[in-house]
Structure 1
Amino acid sequence: MRYLESMKPAQIIAWLLFAAILFITVDPINLRPESGLPVNIERFLAFAVLGFVFAAAYPKRWMLILFLVVGAAFGFELAQMLAPTRHARLLDAVVKAAGGISGVLASSIFLRLFR
């Protein structure tokens, strides 16, 4: 419990976002929210935001965050194999990983410019 008390709001938001994306990735397809954008843009943006928020929440751990978001992209995609209405595709994981990497890089640039 003390660990939660020591977390910054950005860290809590990052982990909540992580959990939300995991849930949306593996929940039944009919529960998946849709923005109206092409699905690969949604995937890319979701992981870009995830990477950005994590890199902002843990600014000195950007390499670890890079591994986290890329690992999550592939891990979440594999987790879809457990859901009967979902399917795992390598292209989807690559799009998610590219978004995550872009978010981490954007956050690193943003933090350097505005420090």
Structure 2
Amino acid sequence: MTRTLLRLSVFVILATLVFVTLSPIGLRPMVAPANVERMCAYALFGFLLILAYPRRWYLGLMAGMAVAGILEFGQEFSPTRHARTADFVVKAAAAAFGSLAAYLVLAAYARFERPSATR
């Protein structure tokens, strides 16, 4: 159940990223400075991606960064948007940070949840 909810949340976040990144600029909500929004959104995406698919964490890491690149490039086809290398770097780095943070959380959890041989 928990894994299913995590996987659903990954796709909800992905759909939100697609909408916010590729929609006309007038439809884009603003709650914080653009780079802060980018970092938070992609870090959350990377974090949830690894929690949802922990056995293939390295693919999740690459997928988070690839999504950042594909969506940034997709802005080239929108008349009100523009693709920037700097934006991609912020998004990809945040996705990688979120992914690695989730990996470390999972590794720590696995270390402390191992059954003790002395019981």
- Answer yes or no: same fold by TM over 0.5: yes
Residue in structure 2 matching 1:22, options 8, 15, 18 = 18
Provide, for residues 9-55 of structure 1, a one-character-per-residue CA deviation record: whole Å limited to 9, x for no partner.
111110121111011100011111111x2211111111000000000
Distance 2:99 2:39 in 1: 12
Query: Which residue pairs with 1:32 in the alignment?
Result: 28
Q: Once superposed, what is the RMSD of the aligned Cα atoms?
A: 1.1
Q: What number of residue pairs does the alignment pair up?
A: 108
Distance 1:18 1:84 in 2: 22
SS of the counterpart of 1:33? coil
Distance 2:15 2:94 in 1: 17
Which structure would you say has the larger Rg? 2
Distance 1:23 1:64 in 2: 23
- Does residue 112 (structure 1) correspond to residue 75 (structure 2)? The answer is no
Distance 2:48 2:96 in 1: 12
User: Structure 1, unaligned stretches of length 5 or more?
Assistant: 1-6
Measured after TM superposition, the shift of residue 114 of structure 1 is 2.5
Identity %: 39
Query: Which residue pairs with 1:70 in the alignment?
Result: 65
Distance 1:84 1:110 in 2: 41
Provide, for residues 33-92 of structure 1, a one-character-per-residue CA deviation record: whole Å limited to 9, x for no partner.
111x22111111110000000000001111101111111111100001111100000000
The TM-score with structure 1 as length reference comes to 0.89
- Does residue 95 (structure 1) correspond to residue 90 (structure 2)? The answer is yes
